[in-house]
Structure 1
């Protein structure tokens, strides 16, 4: 049994991403204190909720990127600059989000004053640059010759799903029908929720709407494929000493494809559910049927991956995947 799914020493990780992640861990602690002791409410939730959630999310996202960049056998200089761009743009975004929280102002979609509008426009530019830098990293991973194929495809597919998940953020900036009716007088342009106003009844901790669709669910679910899919492979590697079937790299590769496909299907489902204005915890029959079909296909794919004879294993090369 062999696997390149290992954790390098801290000094081998991308330093700007590591330092940014450390600063976000500190900010998360400060923001959590703000949630506890600052009684201000903004758009239906404690005002420090957004900095806290973004900080925690960035710790996971950027530390995962820092690890993925160590897997590159070539193109490390390009990867270093792309990772640095992610760290810098993310830092700018978090500074602006935190500043607006301190001011008691909404950071996203806010055009109520010229200053608020400028802040959101700068945030939009940083997010676009962040996405492009993440795209560069995804392309580098797609082209990289990583010896363990299961590891290679787990990071490639996770990166691609995360890119699509991040792109959901651009969908949120589009004006709602109610905002279009108001025209240029709308102070808020864009929304997290679909079918209901932002700031209504929501789930504890996440703040996701319980009465309508919420695009943040798809955004979150897609972006954190970056952690979930490699963690699934890590679990397979951890269990391999106890289960002989998992010791074969080809079996782990098949299971990686099944896990990635199932995750991508679930991401598509929660996106579709949100766009239909449907709350996550209030699915209709069609959503439940689709979720059931995905579960059955995932279970069937897992069974087939474990049962298939090893000589039938085929995996596309990175070049074939791109073409």
Structure 2
């Protein structure tokens, strides 16, 4: 399953980069509910994230089922968002046709699957005892910040649903992404912090020093997430 996940992560990443080329060729706005931005950012982000989760589940000795669920949900999210980009219609909060409503509900269901797997990852990280202290700290902080990214995403979905019901689709499309910056900043600690801990193993420094470096990097990363959340809320 892990090799499959790595292969799919490459496909998702290439999809995002391909749609960046499409954006430069086709033009149109970068921001807004109908643009190539989502196909680009979701492809690149999920490509990197899926590879990160595949690696971290190996470190934590998590079984293939959890990785399989995350892989399926990642493909569904990127695939449906890319489909809607090609159809030139909004992906989230769009229930203006039966098909669009099905896509929006499927995206929400995929998000639920992702949150489930990330919670499993957090629990596994806290139960782990076999990793070196520096890597264990990196994996734990990375998993928790990854969960915070999912929660920021859930806040945006909830806000969009409420705005759709109370103020209409256009308001939801324009303003539901309040926490987008915080969501994006928090998304990749699950890659960056374990990667730092792994790179430090190639230095002559003691495990105690490596753990202190990872701890400092983790604190700075959390501060960056808090700062992004403050900016998003303002």
Unaligned runs of 5+ in 1: 1-12, 199-213, 242-246, 277-323
Alignment counterpart, residue 141 of structure 2, candidates 157, 167, 192: 157
* Structure whose CA Rg is larger: 1
Aligned residues: 233
CA distance in 2, matches of 1:187, 1:115: 16
Match of 1:21 in 2: 9
CA distance in 1, matches of 2:112, 2:174: 18
CA contact (8 A) 2:200 2:210 kept: yes
CA distance in 2, matches of 1:55, 1:260: 26
Q: Deviations over 1:73-119 (max 9, x none)?
A: 5xx4xx31001100001111111111101110011222333322221
Match of 2:150 in 1: 166
CA distance in 2, matches of 1:56, 1:29: 7
Q: Does residue 1:35 correspond to 2:23, yes or no?
A: yes
Match of 1:226 in 2: 190
Task: Name the TM-score, length of structure 1 as normaliser.
Answer: 0.65
Q: How many Å apart are 1:46 and its aligned residue?
A: 7.6
State how 1:173-192 maps to structure 2 within 5 Å.
173-175=157-159, 179=163, 183=166, 186-188=168-170, 190=172
CA contact (8 A) 2:34 2:89 kept: no
Unaligned runs of 5+ in 2: none
Q: Cα RMSD (Å) of the superposition?
A: 2.6
CA distance in 2, matches of 1:39, 1:232: 37
Task: Name the TM-score, length of structure 2 as normaliser.
Answer: 0.87
Q: Does residue 1:52 correspond to 2:40, yes or no?
A: yes
1 or 2, which has the higher helix percentage?
2
Question: 1:135 and 1:16, CA in 2 relative to 1: closer, same or farther beyond 3 A?
Answer: farther
Q: Say which SS state the counterpart of residue 112 (structure 1) adopts.
A: coil
Q: How many Å apart are 1:62 and its aligned residue?
A: 1.0
Q: Does residue 1:271 correspond to 2:229, yes or no?
A: yes
Q: How many Å apart are 1:179 and its aligned residue?
A: 3.7
